[in-house]
Amino acid sequence: MMETSYWDAIINNDKSFDGVFFYAVKSTGIFCRPSCKSKIPIQKNVHIYKTAVEAERNGFRSCKRCCPTDRSWVDSSEEISNKAIFIIKQNFQDEVQLNQIAAAIAIDPYHLLRTFKKHTGKTPLEYLQEVRLTKAREALLDTNQTITEIALNHGFNSTAYFSTVFKKSTGYSPSKFRKKIFSSVN
């Protein structure tokens, strides 16, 4: 029995599943990417394969419409990571989740997680936290905003959480960090 999410991806031409699986149709002898715009097959005639090679080994030929063996449709890990970084930097004040970033890039969340970590050495959410902390440090130095305002304006849900994360990162509480920097300047 086919997973419901795979069938949904096929009937909705869901690009985020491209590269996650390929589907082959017994009646036509052809295999496609999930985003293929070809006619929706009869479900009982569909076989799921993890790779194009596996589908070919089982006697299916590549679709001429979606060209599943042509890998040019797949973004490189650098492109995927750069797109995710752009989204993170544009939305760091908001509650950002892995699923949202993946949806914006139109790839599977787990593929994003693996690719991003391989390319940057961090998960997207670790990177998000780093961006928030960097921006918060800048705000501590360049503005007169209160610690609470900085915390809430930089994506932290509470001052206590912000203080904990900030201290873990810098070794100082936000208020001590601000005092230390200003006292060393004077």
| Contact partners, residue 88, CB within 8 Å, separation at least 6 | 96, 101, 124, 127, 128, 131
Q: Could you give the angle at which helices 174-185 and 124-142 cross, rounded to 10 degrees?
A: 50
pLDDT at 73: 57
Task: Tell me what the pLDDT averaged over the chain comes to.
Answer: 89
Kindly list the structural domains of the chain, giving each domain's residue range(s) and its CATH number in brackets, ordered by start.
Answer: 4-72 (3.40.10.10), 75-186 (1.10.10.60)
pTM over 0.85: no
Considering only CA atoms, which of 124, 123, 134, 122 is closest in space to residue 104?
124
Q: Which two tokens stand for residue 83?
A: 């797109």
Amino acid identity, position 62:
S
State mean pLDDT over 108-136. Answer: 92
Q: State the catalytic residue, choosing from 32, 36, 63, 66.
A: 32
67 has catalytic annotation: no
Question: Where is average pLDDT lowest: 15-19, 110-114, 161-165?
Answer: 15-19
State mean pLDDT over 85-112. Answer: 88
In the structure, what pLDDT confidence band is assigned to residue 28 with cuts at 50, 70 and 90? very high
pLDDT digits (tens, 9 = 90+) for 65-83: 988 887 665 667 788 888 8
Asked whether the predicted pLDDT for residue 2 surpasses 80, the reply is no
How far is residue 46's CA from residue 99's CA, in Å, rounded to a whole number?
Answer: 27
